[in-house]
Structure formats: C-alpha cells, structure tokens
Amino acid sequence: MDVEYLFDRALVTAPRYAVAEWPRQVQQQRTEILVVGGGAAGLAAALQAARHVDVTLLTREELPTSNSAWAQGGIAAALDAEDSPTLHVEDTLVAGAGLSDPAAVALLTRTAPRLMRELAGLGVPFEQEAGAFVLGLEGGHSRRRVLHVRDATGWALTSTLIERARSHPRIRICEGYQAVDLLDDLGCCAGVLARDSRGGRHRFRAQATILATGGAGALYGLTSNQPNALGEGVALAFRAGAEVADMEFVQFHPTVLRTSADQGFLISEAARGEGGRLLTPGGQRFMPAYDPRAELAPRDVVTRGIFAAMQRAGVDHVLLDLTHLPVDYLQRRFPTIYARCRAEGFDLAVEPVPVAPAAHYLMGGIRTDLDGATSLPGLYAAGECACTGVHGANRLASNSLLECLVFGRRAAEAALNAGEPIRGFADARRPDAWYYPVTATPQSRSMPAPEAGHRVLAQIMRRYAGPLRSGAGLEEALRRLAAFPNQATSLDAQALTLTNAALTARLIVTSALLREESRGAHFRTDFPTTQPEWQVHTVLSRGQAPFTVTTVAAMELELALA
C-alpha cells in the first residue's frame, strides 16, 4: 500500500528556521565532517571519520552527558554457543511488530559479535568469567546475549570512546554548543548554525553533517532520559526538509522509580531478567495472567500490563520484587541501582521497590537508509534521533547501544564517500548563501513563557500521548500544542530549545493521530487491535501545507530507501 496525501488537521505551520533572524556577526568555522552529539553514536561516527579526515564534534553539554552514558542494561550480541545472529534477528523482528526492516536488523545482528570483541579489546570492561563474556537475559530475548558492565554499561562504553576521542589528533571537541538550525546551500545541508554556552554565535560549515542528537523522552517530564533529550535534532532535520518516520512509536520503560526530586530513575530490564517479579501494592503477581511471557515480555506488553494493574487497583505504581536475590549478589550485579534505591529509602534486598512506566526511547526519527543517509543531501543521522528501520514499532532491549555503534560508523563511512564537496562548500565569497532569514510566524496570545513551557509541554504529552492514546485526546493535544512558538524571537537558549521541542512533540502527536490501530509501543484505545493494512511506515516531510505525509509499505521500505 502506497498512499500520499496532505495532512490538513489542526496543525500549526513549521517555518524553515527556528529563529526568525540571525545576527550577521558570527564566527565562521570549517570542518570536513561535522558530528552533532556526544553519545555513543556521535563518538563512534567521529572516531570512524577521523581515520581519514578532520572532524568537529559539537555537544550540547559537557561529555559524557548523554542517554548513552545512562544506559544500564547492556549490549545485545549472539555470542553463546546456543545462540546465533539468526535468533537475534527473529527476536528483534517479533519485538518490532511487523515494522522492522529485515535488512537493517540482519546488518545489526551479524555485526554485533565481532564488534563486541573489538570493544573489549579497546578496554570496555565487559564482565567475564573464565575468559568468556557473562551474558544476561532481558525481556523479548530467547537466549542470554546481553553483555554488560554490571549495571553501568553505557558509562563504561562512552567513557572508553570519549578517552579515545579526546586524544585523537583529528577530532576537535566543542562542548557547550547548541545546534540551532541546519545550514542551506541550494538544497543541500552545509553544516549548522550554533550557539555556545556564553551566547556566542557560530556558523560551522561542513562537507557532511551527522546528527547524533539522541532521543525525546524528556518531552514527557517523567523519563529515564537526560533532561535535554527533547528531540531537537529531529526538529532541526524536519525544518531543513529531511523526512522523519515512525514518530508515533515512543517506548515507555516499564520499571522506573520516581525519585524524591520527582525525576525518573530507571530500574534496568536486567533486573527482571534475573527473576524480578512485578506485584500489585497488595502483593499479588499479575503479569503471568496478562501475558505468558510474564515479566520477560517485550516492553510495550509489560508497560500495558502495569497500567492495567494500576487502573484496577486505583494506584500510580506497582512493586518490583528482587528480594529473592542475596544482598551481595544485588550489590555486585546492580551496584548503581542498589545504591540509588538505598539513597531513596529502599533496600532491594528486603523490600519491593515502587515503579511505574516512564518515557524511555523514540523508535522513530530522521529517516535514513542503511548507511545513515537522510533524504537531504549532505545530512546523515545515527543513534536514537535516526530511524534506521531496526526497531520498528518497539525496540528490543539492549539493541540501542548496538545500533548507535553500528550505524554511527556506517554514517561516517557514507559521509566520507559522499563524493565531491557540496555546492559552495569552499566558496567564502558567498557567506549569506548559508542562511535565508524568514519572517516569524504570528504566535498565539496564550503561548506559554519559556520558563514554564517545558512543564506545560510535559503535561500535554503525558496526558494525551502516553502509553494509552485516543483520537480525541490526540486532537486535544494538537490544539494545546498550537499555543507553543513556531519560531524563537531571540537567541535565548531556553526559547530555542522550547521551539524545537514543541515541533518534535507535534510530530509525535500527528503521527499517533494518523495511525488508526494499535501496534508495538503505540496503543489507541479507540483502535485497540493491530490491522494488516497498517503495516506501513508513516513518513512526514515539511511541505507547503504544512507538511506532506506519506505511508510506505513495510515490505517496500528497503527499496524505497535504496
């Protein structure tokens, strides 16, 4: 099924640029490959490209602030004698609910074993016994295949990559730089406009740009993500004309502890892999009655099971019970989780801990081919901001860091082999060709101030675009999102962030409203079943009115991206 039409429901226009006017006085900088984002995908891309050319790496915060660094569970790879990449493919496709691209999944899983051995050789201290990797079991996996560094795998991985990047003579790291807009050059991406932490303005020109800006979980407020994971890279790409896909698929991690500071702290999937049980506040186990895989079902299934249990009991949490495990094992296997729970007043060894689902991962993002190339020449994407086709409607646990590494490297190789520099790259006589100011769109009088905007945005997303959605709720979300700015009227960092975050929120809500079925992480209470005719990818692109929506049949995705 191939359908193309204009989506004309309650949407505000999306101007080409996030800021209405950009000062003429900016610092001009050049690089061959520009990488935006300092998580696993951005670091992998930078290190790969730096084998051949000079690379500039921009990061919003200081390294290692990223979702990658917070990842607890591990990295999936078929290394056990009873496992194989084929089985890993099968598990990934099942979790993806019919929307994973088999070619992308096969590429991911076949690369994984060799890559894990390479990372161990670089110094990532994966747990081993008698010279063999210790492999964990997580939800949705049919075999033990998750390599881990206790419960701090992301930190161990990114720390190793950061050390190598900082010492690399061809990598220049610019920390504290906020990417504001992508540069234009006659239909090609030519770099980014950026703001540094002191308010300085910079134009980074590049032969190729790789976005690795991470996910959007912080749009929901309660999340396992970093506070700045607001999907800004997706908004940048969409404004510039790149296609985005599958934005309706937001994964909610089933077991997140709400901290005393009203933030989310993730209790790893691996805790259930080690026998953790989910109980009602009254102490009754409920997942076996909800799904035969019980606590080891895919994340979307466990999340809905928890929601159903909370609704029946009229509570806002359930309990995760790990008291069957010895205290010394908990302290050794989950030191970070154990210590954080103790700090919050819970002892995992003697009592269950209260948990609830929270926003965790964006399966959709900037649409790419298998080499990270987007629909916009000169622009590549990798990691959580990209939609490579691997995750489909629901990501399999511990495939995210793997995807960052595999496709971050591939994006770098594709950027290196893109051919001749884009038009105007070396032409210093045409500085104004890189940016075309547009008139700011009039704003609603009810527009929230930037300081309150993020809180209001999170309330809208949690209420109307969470794990359980309806057409009426999503339409109400779009009406409320119409009050948010389409463009920032200044170069204030908070205003710029809110502008792009609100656009990404609109993309998620629009895609969720379009998909009139339930599949994977997307559940519509008014369309509660999965429909064969909706085995399609929703692709959004910025058009004339205000964006064009194309649905592409899943089995044709590989050809469409070729």
Q: Which residues are catalytic?
A: 299
The CA distances from residue 543 to 10, 64, 501, in Å, are 16, 36, 19
Q: How many Å apart are CA 112 and CA 119, to the nearest integer?
A: 10
Contact 346, 209 (CB under 8 A): no
CA atoms within 13 A on the CB side of 440: 14
| E strand or H helix at 94 | helix 85-95
Question: 91 burial class (0-12, 13-18, 19+ CB within 10 angstroms)?
Answer: buried
Question: 494 burial class (0-12, 13-18, 19+ CB within 10 angstroms)?
Answer: middle
Which residue, 87, 66, 74, is CA-closest to 269? Answer: 74
Please provide the DSSP assignment of 356-406 as one string: EEEEEEES-EEE--TTSB-SSTTEEE-GGGEE-SSSTTSPPTT-HHHHHHH
Tokens of 413: 């190789």
| β-pair partners for 75 | 147
Helices (H), 16-79: 40-49, 67-70
Three-state SS at 218: helix
Residues sharing a CB contact under 8 Å with residue 187, sequence separation 6 or more, in sequence order = 241, 376, 377
The one-letter amino acid at 255: T
Burial readout 132-171 (b: 16 or more C-beta within 10 A, e: otherwise) = ebebbbbbbbebbbbbbbbbbbbbbbbbbbbeebeebebb
Q: How many Å apart are CA 246 and CA 538, to the nearest integer?
A: 5
| Plot region of 283 (φ>0 → left; ψ -120 to 50 → alpha; else → beta) | left
Strands 250-258 and 353-362: antiparallel
Strands 55-59 and 171-175: parallel
Which residue, 215, 221, 399, is CA-closest to 298? Answer: 399
Helix 493-514 × helix 450-464 angle, to 10°: 20
Q: What share of the chain is helix, strand, coil (3-state, %, to 5)?
A: 35, 20, 40
